[in-house]
Amino acid sequence: MSGAQPKGLPVINMSFNELPFGPSPAVSAAIDAVTTKANFYGNPSCQALREEIGQCNGLDPEAIVCGNGSEELLDVIARNFVRYDDEIVISEFGYIQFAIIANRLAARLVKVPEIEFTTDVEGLLSAITAKTKLVFLANPNNPTATMMPEKDVVQLAEKMPKDVVLVIDLAYGEFTGFDYCARVHDLVRRFENVVVARTFSKAYGLAGLRVGWCHAPDWMIPRLYAARGMGSVNAVAQAAALVSLREPDLVNARIAQIIAERDRVASELSELGLSCLPSQTNFMLTMLADGDPEQAEALVAHLFDDAGIVVNRTREKGLERYIRFSLSLPEHNTALVQSVKRFLR
Ligand SMILES: *Cc1c(COP(=O)(O)O)cnc(C)c1O
């Protein structure tokens, strides 16, 4: 797949859940301005960025910690609470980073079976034991793109033992709505053991700059800084993220365009006999009518050879029949549908 495209076509990567739109002129200008001052350190605690995040989300800036992507923060949280042989509980098809983090810490990863590709809240709760230190939940989730109902998230927070930390990863929360995100942040205020993680990599389109943030209870904040690299969010990333928060209309318009494309592509694929899991994100998990893993593999190869399109196949147990792709520009999405059509012929 990493080799040259056989027809010499440009490669369209639809496998990383990235936004297809580049930085706005204002964000680009902020990036350029900081690069001319690259001799200076960025602010170690991301003060201005935290204040802007706080203002935009109605949160106390002191309750926010920024990191080198939310990836760093998920790791920092886990390193704080999980030791060798402790348990981390996740949903069956939970985000791959959760497993990677558990592996790094030599912790036991406990996977709770899903119901129709959606997290089972009762199952998660009953999987918690005396050895459980952390529950990771991405909602909406990657790679399934599905979401468990908000009331279940609330119920999970309410019923969780208070000595187990619940991390709610809202990497795709903006695609479900800023109101939803705000209500999840309320859980951090209500419960001393709940942390919410957010990112600038998806809806804000700054994946390459590596900025994420988390909203945590007061007692946890110093511990998170202690485990985080001092200058982990560089000055360019801080400036770009800050300016991106000042363009909510642009961000909302981009989200709306992605959602419109998601609906269009889902219906066109379903006309071709493919089924897509209901997506609450900027990507989809889809399956051919025959649901054959070998055909899924063949489709991945065909999309690249035929159209230069790179999609993802998790090969994860239980998801072997699916491919995952991110919604891109309309012309790229159309190219994908057309190429699927040729595959089926
Ligand atoms: C993409 C993604 C992230 C974001 O990771 P960053 O390190 O912030 O780029 C976090 N969680 C999930 C579930 C994701 O899919």
Domain boundary among 198, 223, 245: 245
Give domain status of residue 337, yes or no: yes
Domain check: are 241 and 335 in the same one?
Answer: no
Question: Which of 234, 153, 235, 245 has its CA nearest to residue 199?
Answer: 245
DSSP 209: G
Number of other residues whose CB lies within 10 A of the CB of residue 33: 12
* Any ligand 1 atom below 6 A from CB of 70: yes
Q: Give 3's contacts (C-beta < 8 A, 6+ positions apart).
A: none
Please compute the mean of the pLDDT values over residues 17-44 and round it to a whole number: 98
- Residue 177: inside a domain: yes
- The reply to whether ligand 1 has any atom less than 6 angstroms from the CB of 69 is yes
Q: Is the pLDDT score of 69 beyond 70?
A: yes
Question: Ligand 1 centroid vs 212 CA: distance in angstroms?
Answer: 8
Other CB atoms within 10 A of residue 55 CB: 12
pLDDT the model gives residue 314 = 78
Q: Is the beta carbon of 94 within 6 A of some atom in ligand 1?
A: no
Of the residues 245, 266, 299, the one at which a domain ends = 245
- Tell me how far apart the alpha carbons of residues 137 and 95 are, in angstroms, rounded to a whole number: 8
Question: Ligand 1 centroid vs 199 CA: distance in angstroms?
Answer: 7
The answer to whether residue 321 sits within a structural domain is: yes
CATH code of the domain in which 286 resides: 3.90.1150.10
* Closest ligand 1 atom, residue 16 Cα: 1
Ligand 1 mutation pick, 97, 119, 176, 281, max ligand atoms within 8 A of CB: 97
> Do 279 and 235 reside in the same domain of the chain?
no
Which one of 182, 217, 245 terminates a domain?
245
Q: Which two tokens stand for residue 180?
A: 């939803």
| Domain shared by 278 and 240, yes or no | no
User: Which structural domain range is residue 312 located in?
Assistant: 12-21+249-344
Nearest to 275 by CA among 262, 296, 289, 263: 289
Nearest-atom number in ligand 1 for the CA of 68 is 7
- Is 278 within the bounds of a domain? yes
Q: For position 45, what pLDDT does the model report?
A: 98
Mean pLDDT of 199-227: 98
**pLDDT (mean) for 28-34:** 98
Q: What is the mean pLDDT of residues 240-267?
A: 98
Report cis status (omega within 30 of 0) of the bond before 143.
yes
pLDDT of residue 291: 86
Instruction: Identify the bridge partners of residue 112 per DSSP, sorted by sequence position.
Output: 91
pLDDT above 70: residue 219: yes
Kindly state whether residues 165 and 286 are assigned to the same domain.
no
Which sign, positive or negative, has the C-alpha torsion 300, 303, 306, 309? negative
What backbone phi and psi angles, to 5 degrees, belong to 108? Answer: -85, 130
In a domain, 124, yes or no: yes
71: Cβ below 6 Å to ligand 1? yes
- Please determine, for residue 290, whether its predicted confidence score (pLDDT) is greater than 90: no
Q: Does residue 17 have its Cβ closer than 6 Å to ligand 1?
A: yes
Domain identity same for 210 and 266: no
Coil/strand/helix, residue 111:
strand
Ligand 1 neighbourhood includes 211 CB (under 6 angstroms): no
Does residue 1 surpass a pLDDT of 70? no
- Tokens linked to 161: 């033992």
**Is a pLDDT exceeding 80 seen at residue 71?**
yes
**CATH number for 237:** 3.40.640.10
175 lines ligand 1 (CB under 6 A): no
Tokens of 259: 């959602």
C-alpha–C-alpha distance, residues 192 and 111, integer Å = 24
Does 336 score more than 60 pLDDT? yes
75 ligand 1 Cβ < 6 A: no
Percentage, residues of the chain above pLDDT 70:
99
Domain count for the chain, please give it: 2
Best probe residue, ligand 1, of 202, 204, 280, 281 (max atoms within 8 Å of C-beta):
202
DSSP assigned state of 21 = S
Whether 1 maps to a domain, the answer reads no
- Whole-number pLDDT of residue 107: 98
Q: Residue whose CA is closest, atom 15 of ligand 1?
A: 142
Residues 230 and 142 in one domain: yes
Question: What is the predicted pLDDT for the residue at 2?
Answer: 56
pLDDT band at 34 (very low <50, low <70, confident <90, very high): very high
pLDDT for the residue numbered 224: 98
Cβ neighbors of 336 (< 8 A, separation 6 or more) are 14, 265, 303, 307, 309, 311, 325, 328
φ, ψ of residue 219 in degrees (nearest 5)? -65, -25
Q: Separation of 322 CA from ligand 1 center, angstroms?
A: 20
310 is a domain residue: yes
pLDDT digits (tens, 9 = 90+) for 297-325: 999 999 999 999 999 987 889 999 999 99
- Say if residue 254 is in the same domain as residue 236: no
Q: Where are the alpha helices (DSSP H) in 220-315?
A: 221-227, 235-245, 248-271, 293-307
Q: Is the CB of 184 under 6 A from ligand 1?
A: no
Tokens 């800084």 -> residue: 225
Helix axes 150-159 and 178-190, enclosed angle (nearest 10): 10
Q: Which residues contact 88 (CB under 8 A, 6 or more apart)?
A: 78, 82, 98, 101, 102, 107, 108, 109, 110, 132, 133, 134, 135, 136
What's the whole-model pTM score? 0.97
pLDDT in tens, 157-167: 999 999 999 99
Sign of the alpha-carbon torsion through 84, 86, 88, 89:
positive
Same domain, residue pair 135 and 276: no
Report whether pLDDT(3) > 90: no
Which pLDDT band holds residue 28 (cuts at 50, 70, 90)?
very high
Task: Kindly report the average pLDDT of the chain as a whole number.
Answer: 97
Residues 180 and 209 in one domain: yes
Residue 231 CB neighbours (<10 A):
13
Measuring from atom 10 of ligand 1, which residue has the nearest CA? 171
The verdict on residue 5 lying in a domain is no
CA of 169 to the centre of ligand 1 (A): 8
Q: Are residues 174 and 32 in the same domain?
A: yes
Q: Are residues 73 and 35 in the same domain?
A: yes
Q: What percentage of the chain's residues is helix, strand, coil (to nearest 5)?
A: 45, 15, 40
Rounded mean pLDDT of 262-276?
97
Residue 189 clears pLDDT 90, i.e. is over it: yes
Both 167 and 291 in one domain: the answer is no
